Amino acid sequence: MTPITVLLAEDHAVVREGLRALLAIERDIVVVGEAGNGRQAVQRSKALRPAVVVMDIAMPLLNGLEAARQILKALPETKILVLSAHGDDEYVEQVIALGALGYLVKQTSALVLAKAIREVHKGNTYFSPAISKRLTERRESTIHGASGRRRKQDVRLTSREVEILQLIAEGKANKQTAAELGISIKTVEKHRQALMGKLGIHDTAGLTRYALAAGIIEGGVRFTIE
């Protein structure tokens, strides 16, 4: 039996270690790599080509949603299973829209996590029971016209714009952003202007608030120890 190869993308080392230990007892699942931020998740997925990526959403440098989008674009055969502390509908909708097959909240048991990995590996969808229930109710509500109101039109940002928006919201200056992405400061400024134009937001505080509301970054303060 060929084991299901898994990459763990999670910014907290102790959580990664716990997940690795829990999955080690599953004979048909093997963890082949770990990533501590979204950019590492993309790089290591391309290098290791895991069958399934277990992905947190709130991660530094590149959030899990954008990392998943880039992984699926580069490796369409890889399956994404989101494991998040947040079970909000906004996050779930974004995950479904980008092509991930599963969404679990972190209160999930190890047994359910292993089952979800096997299901998404087979190409099936798998959601935490509460999320699955809400999705079913919403689908039925839509069928019966109760949710027929016109949705607010989404703003479409490019992958690069989302990356730059996250780095702006994390407090990175243009010079730091340029170094992080390997592009020129002039290009960063160009993307920043495009962002502001699309969003109708013209200051850093406003962009940060938008990133928080859109789930691109998580609330709270991050400290970096050098």
**d(C-alpha 80, C-alpha 72), whole Å:** 8
pLDDT at 88: 74
pLDDT at 117: 97
Say yes or no to pLDDT of 21 above 60.
Answer: yes
Cβ partners under 8 Å of residue 74, min gap 6: 42, 45, 46
Cβ partners under 8 Å of residue 38, min gap 6: 9, 59, 60, 61, 62, 63, 64, 66, 67
- pTM across the whole model: 0.74
Q: Which helix (H) or strand (E) holds 102?
A: strand 102-105
pLDDT in tens, 53-106: 999 988 888 999 899 999 999 999 999 999 988 777 777 888 888 889 999 988
pLDDT in tens, 168-193: 988 889 999 999 888 999 999 999 99
CA torsion 125→130→131→137, rounded to 10°? 100
pLDDT in tens, 125-135: 998 887 877 77
Answer positive or negative: Cα dihedral of 170, 171, 172, 173.
positive
pLDDT at 150: 44
- Radius of gyration, CA atoms only, the chain: 18
